[in-house]
């Protein structure tokens, strides 16, 4: 479990757990709804994992690291009135 910004603990799943649940959802004759009920997961979460499985399990894109003050540059600006 990991703590979110608001201090509430949130469940995390290992890659193996996610892959197993996705494999069950993709099995012939299976439905995401049935898999959700069995795994006690939200359908939106399973669909997100299905999308990620198609992209080789790349997690969501992260924002680039914030620049430090030394890395910032200033550009001269000319104001016309």
40: alpha, beta or left? (left if phi > 0; alpha if psi -120 to 50) = left
Per domain, the residue ranges of the chain are: 11-57
Q: What distance in Å separates the CA atoms of residue 18 and residue 28, rounded to the nearest whole number?
A: 18
Predicted TM-score of the model (pTM): 0.53
For residue range 48-75, what is the model confidence (pLDDT) as tens digits? 888 888 877 766 666 666 666 556 677 8
For residue range 9-53, what is the model confidence (pLDDT) as tens digits? 777 788 888 888 888 888 888 877 776 666 677 888 888 888 888
For 41-72, letters b (16+ CB in 10 Å) and e give beeeebeebeebbeeeeeeeeeeeeeeeeeee
């Amino acid at each position: 479990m990991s703590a979110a910004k608001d201090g509430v603990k949130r469940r995390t799943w290992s890659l193996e757990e996610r892959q197993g649940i996705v494999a069950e959802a993709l099995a012939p004759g299976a439905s995401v709804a049935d898999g959700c009920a069995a795994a006690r997961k939200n359908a939106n979460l399973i669909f997100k994992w299905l999308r990620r499985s198609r992209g080789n399990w790349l997690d969501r894109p992260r924002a680039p690291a914030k620049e430090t003050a030394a890395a910032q540059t200033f550009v001269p600006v000319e104001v016309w009135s």
